[in-house]
Structure 1
Amino acid sequence: MLKVNNETKVGILTVIAIVLLVLGFNILKGRSLFSTKKTIYAVYTQVNGLQPSNAVMVNGLGIGTVQSLEVMDQRAGRILVTLQINKNIEIPKNSVARISADLLGTRKVEIDFGNTEEVLKNKDTIYAAVDGSITDALKEQLSPLVKKLETTLGAVDTLLLTVNSVFDTTTKHNIRQAVAGLNGTLNNLNNATRNINGMLADGGKIAGTFDNFNAVSANLKNNNDKISNILTNFDKASGSLAGGQIDSTLASLHSTISRLNEVAGKISSTDGSLGLLMNDRQVYNNLQHSLGSLNKLLEDLRYNPWRYVHLSVFGRKNKVVPIPSDSATAQ
């Protein structure tokens, strides 16, 4: 029996390991060494994060994988993407290979079929396009909002500067004083509210007032008949006055006033005695002199009655007593 030395065994194992490594690397890269596929190229200006082994899809069906990505110039302005497509799939020449992404951000190459009869052959180049990413869409949607937000923030900043310039130290002090005054007003309002609650409570002033009002209302209700009689009498009196008694009363009053005017006219004139007395000074003086003489006579009659009535039993002659008015005149 042929013996295999250890060096041969190690060599065989090394070859097997290398073959398995190559196969595994190609499988991980999306390459298949045993399947028959055709290669199609696409040139992109930017690949949006596309990686080898990403899927190539047609109408949602996977028909191949991305084999490799190569930079065609030093600035990476053009990127050559190699696609491995199943040979059984015929792709029209005017088709477009678009790089797109799903909601999770996984990149893929989506081929939109054209309408020409000519198909792409092995190692042909397909038209390339790149869809905007979700981030780009969000940026496009948010860009106007960002501009509006910047404008709003600028306006708010201007407003804050204006407020800071208006609310200087004096204004802030005045605001503090106003707030303190407002606190005092609120305290007074609370006290007033408590007082009102006390007045509204049972036994309070307002409750007593309502009790008195209820009592008055009850009295009015109890004396409703009397009030009705009073109103009836007042209505009768109003009817009587409206019936003509006011006219006759006013006529009598007018006649009385006319007579009073006549009497006043006579008093003001010098025709009557009263008029002479009020208007003629000589008549007044004579009357005053006569009243003075009458007073003297009455005084003399009181002090010397014997001069007018002579009653003497023994024939004694009485002494004349001077009257006070004469004594006052002499002094």
Structure 2
Amino acid sequence: MKYTKELKTGILAVVAIVILIFGYSYLKGQNLLDSNRIFHAVYADVEGLSASSPVTINGMKVGQVTNISFLDERGLLVVTFNVDNDFKFSKNSLAQIYGGGLIGGKSLAIVPEYEPGMLAKTGDTLPSAIEEGIMELVNERLTPLQVKVERAIVSTDSLLTAFNEVLDTETRNNIKNTFNDLSETVRSFKNTAESLDGIVSGNSEKLDRTFSNLDEMSGNFNKFSDTLAQIDLNGMSGDLEKIIADFEKISNNLSSGQGTAGKLLTDDAVYDNLDRATKQMEQLLQDIKLNPKRYVHFSVFGKRPGPYDAPNDSLK
């Protein structure tokens, strides 16, 4: 049987179309010769998930996303994916979008549930969820920090503004003059310290002698303190109490008129007699002074004493 060129061209076209379909499906992750299970999940946002993204169970790749399309006019998205593994799981298992970092893209994970009699079949729609990725976690952690940094920047700006308002030209000049005065004061202290250093250096020997004398004085004070510690203060206190008692006894005797001194202080007659005796003694001494010859006489020729001079009556 002889084929015409048109038939051959048609057969080649059909084969090319079939190869193109199989190749396109293979590139999209679909193998038309395999009996894969097809599942669906509905999302409000697929977070960058794309066709041919891997589908995993417990981290193991079991399929891939085959199609993402709009479900309705509200913008809900339906994700279609296949599972080329015979692993059994419930139709209540969660289809969760996860991952997404600085380099890698999003993936779809099936979080399996094991419920007897409710196994997932091809064409079922699984519950959906989205796990926060690295960028979302970073943004979540950095947002409070960003707010704090912004507040700190605003506070710093306000503080700088307040400083600029307070530190006008006159205030700045005053602060500058104050630092200049402090510099002069420090320089003066430095000169004073150098002078004191010179004085100390020039009088080091005298200072050594002074400290030596102070050391000796301290030793003498220690010896004196030891001497005081050895004194019988109790005995001295007892003797002092006896002396005070004797003085008190004498004072009582004088006050009561006992003894000569007591009578002299309390008896007027004794005082008058003593006063008269004193006056007579004065007259006697005056008479001896005026007429010594009456009391002491010595003469070879027996000459009589001169005339008598009476003493002064004012002493009576």
Aligned-partner residue type, residue 210 of structure 1: S
Q: Distance in 2 between matches of 1:114 and 1:140?
A: 30
- Secondary structure of 2:33's aligned partner: coil
Give the aligned partner of residue 171 of structure 1. 171
| Deviations, residues 248-272 of structure 1 (Å, cap 9, x unaligned) | xxxxxxxxxxxxxxxxxxxxxxxxx
2:100–2:135 CA contact under 8 A, matched in 1:
no
In structure 2, relative to structure 1, the CA distance for the partners of 1:15 and 1:163 (3 Å cut) is same
* Candidates 202, 209, 215, aligned match of 2:203: 209
Q: Which residue of 2 aligns with 1:49?
A: 48
Give a deviation string over 1:70-93, Cα, whole Å, max 9, x none. 122345x20110011125222211
User: Does 1:79 pair with 2:77?
Assistant: yes
Task: State the distance in 1 between where 2:180 and 2:168 align.
Answer: 18
| Paired residue total | 217
Q: Does 1:96 align with 2:120?
A: no
**SS where residue 185 of structure 1 aligns?**
helix
Q: Distance in 1 between matches of 2:161 and 2:144?
A: 26
Amino acid of the residue matched to residue 151 of structure 2?
A: T
The aligned amino acid for 2:121 is K
Counterpart AA for 1:68: N
| CA gap 1:70/1:219 in 2 versus in 1, 3 angstroms | closer
Could you say if the C-alpha distance between residues 205 and 52 of structure 1 is closer, same or farther in structure 2, counting changes exceeding 3 Å?
same
User: Is the contact between residue 89 and residue 114 of structure 2 (CA under 8 Å) also seen in structure 1?
Assistant: no
Say if 1:187 and 1:217 are closer, same or farther in 2 by CA, change over 3 A: closer
- Say which is worse superposed, 133-142 or 117-126, in terms of deviation: 133-142
Q: TM-score, normalised by structure 1?
A: 0.55
- Mark the CA change 1:206 to 1:149 in structure 2 (over 3 Å): closer, same or farther: same
- Give the distance between the partners of 1:115 and 1:181, measured in 2 at CA: 85
> What is the CA distance between 1:155 and its match in structure 2?
2.8
CA-CA distance at 1:39 after TM superposition: 0.8
For the 8 Å contact 1:68–1:82, the answer to whether it is kept is yes
* Structure 2 equivalent of residue 263 of structure 1: none
How big is the shift at 1:49? 0.4
Structure 1 regions of 5+ residues with no counterpart?
236-331
Q: Distance in 1 between matches of 2:190 and 2:16?
A: 93
What is the CA distance between 1:56 and its match in structure 2?
A: 0.9
Q: Secondary structure at the match of 1:148?
A: helix
The secondary structure found in structure 2 opposite 1:132 is: coil
Offset of residue 218 of structure 1: 7.5
Counterpart in the other structure of 2:113: 114
1:136 is aligned with what amino acid?
E
Structure 1 pair 182–26 and aligned structure 2 pair: CA distance change class (3 A)? farther
Q: Which stretch of the first structure deviates more once superposed, 212-221 or 135-144?
A: 212-221
| Residues 55, 218 of structure 1: alpha-carbon distance in 2 compared, 3 angstrom cutoff | closer
Q: Relative to structure 1, is the Cα distance of residues 119 and 190 closer, same or farther in structure 2, using a 3 angstrom cutoff?
A: same
Q: Is the 8 A contact 2:62 2:85 kept in 1?
A: no
Distance 1:46 1:81 in 2: 10
- Does the C-alpha gap of structure 1 residues 179 and 10 become closer, same or farther in structure 2, counting only changes over 3 Å? farther
1:38 paired residue number: 37
Q: d(CA) in 2 for partners of 1:24 and 1:107?
A: 24
Show the counterpart of 2:123.
123
Tell me the percent identity.
Answer: 29
Residue identity opposite 2:188 in structure 1: N
CA distance in structure 1 between the aligned counterparts of 2:27 and 2:106, rounded to whole angstroms: 16
Match for residue 64 of structure 2?
A: 65
| TM-score, normalization by structure 2 | 0.57
What are structure 2's unaligned runs of at least 5 residues?
228-316
CA distance in 2, matches of 1:218, 1:168: 60
Distance 1:181 1:23 in 2: 92
For 1:207 and 1:4, how far apart are their aligned partners in 2? 129
Q: Is the 8 A contact 1:36 1:87 kept in 2?
A: no
CA displacement 1:168-189 (0-9 Å, x = unmatched): 2221221122222233334434
Pairwise mapping of residues 311-322 of structure 1 onto structure 2 (< 5 A)? none
Paired position in structure 1 for 2:188:
188
Mapped partners of 1:183, 1:219: distance in 2? 41
Report the CA distance shift for 1:161/1:28 in structure 2 as closer, same or farther (over 3 A).
Answer: same
Whether contact under 8 Å (1:97, 1:129) holds in the other structure is: yes
